[in-house]
Amino acid sequence: MTFADLEEYLERTFRPVAESKALDLAITLDPKLPKALRTDSKRLQQILRNLLSNAFKFTERGRVALDIAPAHEGWSPDHYVLNRSLSVVAFRVKDTGIGIQPEKQQIIFEAFQQADGSTSRRYGGTGLGLAISREIARMLGGELSVESRPSEGSTFRLFLPQTFLPQRPARREPAYGGYRIPVSVEREQPRPPKPRRPPRRRSTRARRPTTARGSSPGTASSSSSRTTRPMPASSSRRRTRTASRR
């Protein structure tokens, strides 16, 4: 995201707010800044929106300023990412508002916390904006802090590496006896489908018709031929004689 695009976006978003409250809005880009910042632009815009919205909410007269410049110090000395970054960019949101008591400057970054109850009743809000902004700053490899004096105003500082690519978390390996044993994750291979059986073919051989008792015609004829006996010759002669007498 280029710093020119970021400036244009913030001017377009907060210039009407400043005019409605009769406050001065100043956005300054240091000439030594690089052309662009390699980070999550949507999350960066969310942080700056929260910081500038709070600045306008708690400022009744004066100005709200945003300064963007390279930084070489100012963050926590033990910050791992910022200490190893080749270039760090600082965003400073300064206002001339009511300020914050020193003992309240840390709890304002906790969820649902504000400086005191009277602030919540007078200005409203849930106290989630700063807690979310600090968490997003950590996700982007940066840090969010505050400096403030009561009745003089507050300055919120956001430090981000110029280039930040979040790394994927390493896969944990189980330990056995103090040794790390790598675990190989194999995907289960899908089982091959079972072969489908071919449909049974119906027999094309024609069935022979059966008789009433279940025997085939050929069998019945052969059995009848076997059971029929030829007549004896004597009986045929008797029939002949009887016929001649008549």
Rounded Cα distance, 130 and 8, in Å: 23
CB 168 within 8 A of CB 91: no
Does pLDDT of 206 surpass 70? no
Q: What is the pLDDT of residues 216-241, one digit of tens each?
A: 455 444 444 455 555 555 555 555 55
pTM of the model: 0.64
Nearest in space to 87 (alpha carbons), one of 125, 36, 44: 36
pLDDT-derived band of residue 138, with 50, 70 and 90 as boundaries?
Answer: very high
Q: What is the pLDDT of residues 42-67, one digit of tens each?
A: 999 999 999 999 999 999 999 999 99
Residue with more model confidence, 1 or 218: 1
Give the pLDDT mean for 152-167.
89
